Every structure is written in C-alpha cells, then in structure tokens.
Amino acid sequence: MDTKLSILGFAGSLRQGSYNRIILRAAQEMVPSGAELKIFDLAGIPPFNQDLENEPAEKVKEFKAAIRAADALLIATPEYNYSMPGVLKNALDSASRPYGDNALDGKPVAIMGASMGMLGTARAQYHLRQSCVFLNMYPLNSPEVMVAVAQEKVDGNGRLTDPKTRDKIAELLQALIVWARRLK
C-alpha cells in the first residue's frame, strides 16, 4: 500500500486573522487524498541567538523534528517591507543551525503568499527563494501562487472564498506532490 506523502505547512505570520494562515488552511482543506498536510505554528520560536544554538528551545526542537518527519514543506509567506517577515526568517535560521544540523537540507518546498498589496508577496517570495539556495532546499518553480489584494478574497469567517485562488493552491499542491515524489 502506498504511504501518504506528508507535507508540513507553516505561515510567516503570527496574526490571528492572518491571510497567510487562511490560505494555508485552504490548502489543508484541498490536499489530495495521496497526501496529508499538517500545520505548524511558528509562535514561540525565540529570536535566534548563536550563543545558544547548541541548546535550542523545545519549540525549535519540535520544529526541526516536524520538518525532518515531513516529505515536503509548504510555506505561506507575508511580505513585510518588500521581504519575508522576521518571524519566518528567524524560524528558518533556527531550523538551519547549528552548522551541520540543517533540518531543511534537501527538502522539497512549495511557496505561496498573500498580501493586501497588488504584487501578492512577489518580492518576499524571491527573497525566500534566495535563502533556499544556501539552505539547500528544492523549491518548486511553478505554479507561483501570489495572492494579491487578499482582503477581497476571504469571507468574514476567515475562509478563502476566491475560486481562482483556491484552484491555484490546489494546482500548487498537486505539483508539490509530483515534485516531492520525483526527488524521493
């Protein structure tokens, strides 16, 4: 029997009503039957301090273990000041250390993002892709999921309602599964 492909998703926003958390939950609703998507909350990962990298916080250990247990990752990034938020960068920095113990090494990853602006996190996503190079991750190139003007695509219950965006996320999940199976 084929085992399910396990995907770990996380959003670079801690905000309760976060659009990025909303699109991640939408992905969870739509994940194909051959896969499962668990969501990891980055809240509680402390600011990275290299002096303490050999005694990581419990939350960092938990994060690294969850990444290692997953076959693939799905990152939903907001855009802060034309880049990825510190919360996400800090989580990736924490998971990559100490040197030689990079939990992200060799992981297939799909990237998406939602913003209130017109470019839908494009600039943040390309900064994230740049970090993927040094982290030795394998980002999926296509489709790119950049959710612009996100406030017009969700309802009052925190659900993604825009059909085109939902289709695009479904397409991303399907492509990630093919990509992760190919790299396995």
Binding site residues, ligand FNR, CB under 6 A: 13, 15, 18-20, 78-82, 114-117, 119
Smallest distance from ligand FNR to CB 137, Å: 21
Task: Judge whether 90 and 47 are in contact, CB under 8 Å.
Answer: yes
When the beta carbons of 64 and 89 are compared against ligand FNR, the nearer one is 89
Smallest distance from ligand FNR to CB 179, Å: 24
Whose tokens are 């085109």? That residue is 164
When the beta carbons of 96 and 125 are compared against ligand FNR, the nearer one is 125
When the beta carbons of 103 and 150 are compared against ligand FNR, the nearer one is 150
When the beta carbons of 40 and 179 are compared against ligand FNR, the nearer one is 40
The tokens describing 21, both together, are: 């958390």
Smallest distance from ligand FNR to CB 26, Å: 13
Smallest distance from ligand FNR to CB 78, Å: 3
